Structure 1
Amino acid sequence: MAFRHGILISPEQIRIQTSNRTVFQINHDQDLFIRGEWITLNPAEQELVRQYAQGLRKFVPELVSIAVDSVELGLTAIENMLAGIGNSSQQQEWQALIRETTYQLTSRFVRSGDHFYLAPQSLNELDAFLHGELKTQLKDLAKYTVGAVWDALRDALRQSEDNFERTESQNWQPADELLAKINSGLELKADELEQKSVLFCQRLTELDQIETQLQQRVPQLLAYDVVTMK
Structure 2
Amino acid sequence: MSLSRKDIQKERMWHYFINAASETIDEVGISQVRARTVAERAGFTTSTIYNYFREFSHVIFFAAMRYTKPYIEQLPQYMDQGTNTLEKWLYSWECFCKESFKHPQIYSHIFISNLKQVPEDLLDHYYRMYKHELVGLPDQVQSIVLQHTLSTRSSLYIQHAVDEGFIRHEDIPYITETTLLIWKGMLTDILNQRKPYSQTEAMRKTLHLVHKTIMNIVPVDKHQEVNVQFNI
Give the structure, 1 or 2, with the largest relative contact order (CA under 8 Å, sep 6 or more): 1
The TM tier, using the shorter chain, reads: under 0.3
Normalized per residue, which structure has more strand? 1
Higher Rg: 1
- TM-score, normalised by the number of residues in structure 2: 0.27
- TM-score, normalised by the number of residues in structure 1: 0.27
